[in-house]
């Protein structure tokens, strides 16, 4: 796994944004899949700056949502869809018909999974580029420890660590139990994978992802043998490497 270490989170965000912009310029029409969560927010802001300065047209590609908390919709502050629209799709002026995201309020999760798989099929049958964060338990999207490498989409009971971390996203207590998202095996089919982690609190899980043998207990490590994967870190997240 290629490792790119930046001095601080701002520099990491600029590097990630440049890498994404370069891919989009070279591969218009691609299907992109970006994580929500806190880590990529500054990279989204940098990417929008690159668009504003004419270096990339973010509407020249298509987007698929990575995941959502089952039971939460866009009106809930901290839902993945709220974060993605407010921090990226809307400020980047992405046309509505270039985006398909999971509806966490759906009544039929199987139909919702199929709706996302259909979108992937309509765009060449696989995701081209994915930007992923890493959870404190090594999860990617909602692919929790021991979920393996499922293709297509998943509905999954959330790991205790994911539930324990979740209050940081919400402005009121929300009892999240399940997630819906793209499976790790589907993500691994992407042409290019970019992992991003910043902060000393991620140093231990980054070490397990990068240095330890791949293990189902650390989902991010299962991507390590992908032919085009890079992990972008700041010095704090890289401090145990
Ligand atoms: C969210 C997602 C999650 C996060 C991970 C890290 O869409 O895919 O896997 O990337 O939990 O979250 P942060 O960035 O908040 O530390």
Residue identifier of the C-alpha nearest atom 10 of ligand 1: 133
**Catalytic, out of 68, 112, 137, 186:** 137
pLDDT for residue 159: 98
**HSE value, Cβ hemisphere, 13 Å, CA-based, for 234:** 19
pLDDT for residue 70: 98
- Annotated catalytic residue 139: yes
- Annotated catalytic residue 22: no
C-alpha 240 to ligand 1 mean position (Å) = 20
> What is the CB neighbour count within 10 angstroms for residue 126?
15
Whether ligand 1 lies within 6 angstroms of the CB of 66 is answered as yes
Instruction: Tell me the average pLDDT of the chain.
Output: 98
pLDDT for residue 220: 98
pLDDT for residue 1: 95
pLDDT for residue 67: 98
221: burial class by Cβ within 10 Å (0-12, 13-18, 19+)?
buried
pLDDT for residue 100: 98
- Locate tokens 């990575």: which residue? 66
**Catalytic, out of 46, 68, 128, 144:** 144
pLDDT for residue 136: 98
Atom of ligand 1 nearest to the CA of 143: 9
Residue pair 185/150 in contact by the 8 Å Cβ criterion: yes
pLDDT for residue 178: 98
Q: Which of the residues in the chain have pLDDT under 70?
A: none
C-alpha 135 to ligand 1 mean position (Å) = 5
pLDDT for residue 39: 98
Atom of ligand 1 nearest to the CA of 140: 9
């Amino acid at each position: 796994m290629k490792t790119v270490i930046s001095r601080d989170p701002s520099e990491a965000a600029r590097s990630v944004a440049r890498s994404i912009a370069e891919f989009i310029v070279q591969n218009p029409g691609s299907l992109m899949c970006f994580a929500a969560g806190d880590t990529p927010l500054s990279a989204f802001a940098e990417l929008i700056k690159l668009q504003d300065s004419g270096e990339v047209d973010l509407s020249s590609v298509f987007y698929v949502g990575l995941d959502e908390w089952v039971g939460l919709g866009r009106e809930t502050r901290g839902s993945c869809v709220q974060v993605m629209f407010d921090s990226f799709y809307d400020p980047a002026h992405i046309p509505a018909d270039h985006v398909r995201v999971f509806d966490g309020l759906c009544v039929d999760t199987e139909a919702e999974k199929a709706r996302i798989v259909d979108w992937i099929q309509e765009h060449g049958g696989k995701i081209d580029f994915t930007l992923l964060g890493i959870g404190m338990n090594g999860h990617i999207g909602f692919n929790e420890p021991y979920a393996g490498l499922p293709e297509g989409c998943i509905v999954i009971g959330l790991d205790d660590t994911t539930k324990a971390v979740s209050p940081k996203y919400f402005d009121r207590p929300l009892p999240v139990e399940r997630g819906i998202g793209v499976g790790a095996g589907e993500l691994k089919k992407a042409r290019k994978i970019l992992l991003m982690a910043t902060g000393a609190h991620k140093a231990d899980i980054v070490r397990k992802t990068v240095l330890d043998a791949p293990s189902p207990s650390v989902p991010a490590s299962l991507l390590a043998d992908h032919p085009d994967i890079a992990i972008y870190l700041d010095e704090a997240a890289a401090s145990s490497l």
